[in-house]
Amino acid sequence: MIRKFHTIVLLFTLPLFALQSYAQKLAFFDVRPVREGIQTSPAISSYNVGSDKDLYLLLSPDASLQTELAKLSPSVKTEDLLAIGNYSFDFYLDGKKVYSENLGPGAILPQDKTTKRPLDIVLISSNRSGLWSINLWDRFMAKAGMSLLSRQPKQLEIRVSVYVEQNGIKYSEVQAQAQINITRIPKKIDPLTMGPQHIAAESGFKLSKAKLNKELIVALNTKVADQTYRMINGIVVLKKGELLLEQYYNGEKRETLHDPRSVSKSMTGTLTGMAIRAGFIRSENQVLKDFYKLQDYANHSGKKDSVRIIDLLSMSAAFEGNDELESSAGNEENMYPTADYTKFTLDLSMVADRENGKSWSYFTAGTNLVMDILDKNIPGGVEAFANNKLFAPLGIAKFEWARTPQGKPFGGGGLRLCALDFAKYGQLYSNGGVYNGKRLLEKSWVEKSLSPLQVLPADRTGFYGLLFWNKAFVVAGKSYQAYYSSGNGGNKIYLFKELPIVIVITASAYGKAFAHAQADEIVEKYLLPAILD
């Protein structure tokens, strides 16, 4: 589940400089909070990542972004230009290009694209989040900065140009550039304190006697401690159903109920399979008109009538709903302020050129609609059913549902459990639907949930099943297929096709661009090698 946090900040004015060459039209500033706003320092020449100062860029263009785009594509209508281009950023360290990114058309406010007023670009901030520029910096750090920056100063150079994507990508000449000497000095960590954490009694699992490469765990824990890996809260590893590793960071404890965001979408799929097994739902191929009088909702159509449960669980229903597009009517952020999530979803129109079940689009409202179907068709409601048929058999006693405005369990994410209980859920799927010798879920449902039902967009690897993702990890030249639940902030439950391993990562990097890549890197570079060594 994607949650966006809006920060209100005081407006402030950055000092402007009358500079002549394009190379001087981008300048670095640091900022310090003051009582009644934000105070900027003059342009700076050095900066330490991890300091208590914020870092800004000031871009002072000669012409608006829209004007520069028109130079690249003079045949495109003015109103269409901003939909096909934006600024492009290149990051260099000591003269070597290490990261490039073309900003998506949605980045930067429209009013800042059509005027040539100075643009303050926040790269690092202690009290602002969710900005395109902070996400840009976080992606640079995840891809290059964390591994390349150190105590030894390096020259960071950022070059800004303009691009349009029309029959290929065209770039302008460099519009601006700035240089700064940059270091990353992590706090000093005693490696003797960074070994695998002690596993206390009464975890709910037998302790594993399997071997574990402790040097890799020391290296991992050091990176969490020095903030190379940020906002990690817990790591749990099971091998053959036994507890091999249990670690907590940044204030989280064994008993902490953690918000995993969309990780718990997978549980909506689980409850659907269990409801079918119990006979409360005939099949995942039942259609919406079996459950709702759709003529009572807006935008009624035959296509909406024929949306199947499996289309909603595989994110392939043809609703005009896409959480990854702010402009989408069905974006989850448009749902949360409403009084009735079910009505919001069923009122949506259908996309004319999409067929149900044929293409993937991330749609939280549809997942919650499945939960509403379950609640209406399971005697006693879905909450009691989940408690009795899923949580109690897994030994899960403490949890907190995210809820709809009607107080019902929300099917789109946010079900809080402790890390060990997320591991129990992962073990259920790793065992093919069996837990502690008792079958809770049909093996065929598990297999279908982990099957390649939908092709993901080209910018991400793997496939999508029934509210489960897929990807491969490569360790020592060998590829291992993983199925996983995934939630905003870098929250994950991983299980593996050929390995009796479950890995849980809880994290709170909500809205951070580095969150998912960071979790995957922890698994591929440290946890899997430590387990397989």
Domain final position from 158, 184, 210: 184
Give the global pTM. 0.85
In this structure, what CATH number is given to the domain that contains residue 337?
1.20.58.710
The predicted pLDDT at position 236 comes to 98
| 333 and 225 assigned to the same domain | no
The predicted pLDDT at position 32 comes to 64
Q: Is the pLDDT of residue 19 over 50?
A: no
**Residue 496 and residue 482 in contact, taking contact as beta carbons nearer than 8 Å:** yes
The predicted pLDDT at position 15 comes to 29
Q: Is the pLDDT of residue 28 over 90?
A: no
Domain final position from 184, 218, 246: 184
| 256 and 405 assigned to the same domain | yes
d(CA 108, CA 63): 15
| 49-63, 193-207, 275-289, 470-484: least confident range | 49-63
Q: Is the pLDDT of residue 34 over 80?
A: no
* 142 assigned to some structural domain: yes
Q: Which of these, 272, 329, 303, 241, lies nearest to 445 by C-alpha position? A: 272
Percent of the chain with pLDDT over 70: 94
**Residue 155 and residue 97 in contact, taking contact as beta carbons nearer than 8 Å:** no
What is the pLDDT confidence band of residue 40, given thresholds at 50, 70 and 90?
A: low
pLDDT by residue (tens digit) across 346-370? 999 999 999 999 999 999 999 999 9
| Averaged pLDDT score across all residues of the chain | 92
Q: Is the pLDDT of residue 17 over 50?
A: no
| 40 and 75 assigned to the same domain | yes
What is the pLDDT confidence band of residue 244, given thresholds at 50, 70 and 90?
A: very high
**Residue 259 and residue 484 in contact, taking contact as beta carbons nearer than 8 Å:** no
Residue type for position 418: C
d(CA 368, CA 373): 9
| 414 and 475 assigned to the same domain | yes
The predicted pLDDT at position 33 comes to 54
The predicted pLDDT at position 36 comes to 44
**Residue 101 and residue 136 in contact, taking contact as beta carbons nearer than 8 Å:** yes
The predicted pLDDT at position 42 comes to 74
Percent of the chain with pLDDT over 90: 83
pLDDT by residue (tens digit) across 160-207? 999 999 999 999 999 999 999 999 988 789 989 999 999 999 999 999
* 384 assigned to some structural domain: no
Q: Is the dihedral of CA 490, 338, 465, 349 positive or negative?
A: negative
Average pLDDT over residues 96-101: 98
pLDDT by residue (tens digit) across 64-87? 999 999 999 999 998 899 999 999
Q: At what angle do helices 364-377 and 265-278 cross, to 10 degrees?
A: 30
The predicted pLDDT at position 222 comes to 95
In this structure, what CATH number is given to the domain that contains residue 443?
3.40.710.10
| 485 and 432 assigned to the same domain | yes
Q: Is the pLDDT of residue 11 over 50?
A: no
Q: Is 213 helix (H, G, I), strand (E, B) or coil?
A: coil
What is the pLDDT confidence band of residue 106, given thresholds at 50, 70 and 90?
A: confident
d(CA 182, CA 180): 6
* 399 assigned to some structural domain: yes
The predicted pLDDT at position 128 comes to 82
* 237 assigned to some structural domain: yes
d(CA 513, CA 399): 28
Q: Is 232 helix (H, G, I), strand (E, B) or coil?
A: strand
